Amino acid sequence: MRASGKVVAVTGGGNGIGRELVLGLLDRGARVAALDISDTGLAGTAQLAGDAADRLSTHVANITDRALVEALPDRLIEVHGAIDGLINCAGIIQPFVKVNDLDYASIERVFNVNLWGVINMTKTFLPYLMERPEAHLVNISSMGAFVPVPGQAIYGASKAAVKLFTEALYSELAQTNVRVTCAYPGAIHTDISKHSGVQMDADTEKQAKESKIKMTEPADAARIILDAMESDAYRVMVGADATMMDRLVRLLPKKAADTIQKQMSSLLAE
């Protein structure tokens, strides 16, 4: 689905990849409804939109609140007249600790945002997408959905669920007007730890900054994802690391797991 002239809702639109998706869609001629839990973040996105701000609406929304989510389509249609696309980008990571040391509240919070948020938005918006001549659903999973990252087991499990959920939607919607894409970002240069409420000690933060893993810039990640949407891609790897690990995990899954374990284990809180 080409973005120009379409109306696209984007969750997580107040920071990181989500913000860059909003700005990228505006650059491609779309009207955009940016959703985020942070009104400050949304205000920053609106400011960056510049002259295109007249095609942007911002909506403070907690995607884990199903009743609130179910009220969103009417609000968005009142502003934009229709909804042609949905990009589920909002997501959080867990504290960098092993499952044995992770409390249930953190586990539930990650699943509520990363999986239930996607399900809530998809279930609510899908009937409206199916009414359009053409429409597109993009779900942002993660490289962590297919490569086990120590200290992010719960995050990876939630993103793996998004992966399979999205693939099943692709099959269920194959004979409809709704196209479906799943995106798998690798390491992206964002403040996801801060926005996830994850505190790192000084040593862990220093190790993360000195990591040899090359990170993809959020604007580049957004461009890759939007190109995939416009070409109706089934899946898209975002970043050289995601592309490499996608190949390695299919050929040598244990080697892929061992490689990530060696690179990431030093970040684990002991």
**Active site residues per annotation:** 155
End-to-end CA distance of the chain: 47
Q: What does R_g of the chain's alpha carbons equal in angstroms?
A: 18
Give helix 253-264 / helix 240-251 axis angle, nearest 10°.
Answer: 140
Nearest Cα residue to 211 out of 148, 255, 265: 265
Beta bridge partners of 184: 237
Taking the C-alpha atoms of residue 32 and residue 58, their distance in angstroms, rounded to an integer, is 8
Phi-psi bin for 5: left (phi > 0), alpha (psi -120 to 50), beta? left
Taking the C-alpha atoms of residue 176 and residue 11, their distance in angstroms, rounded to an integer, is 24
Question: What is the amino acid identity at position 262?
Answer: K
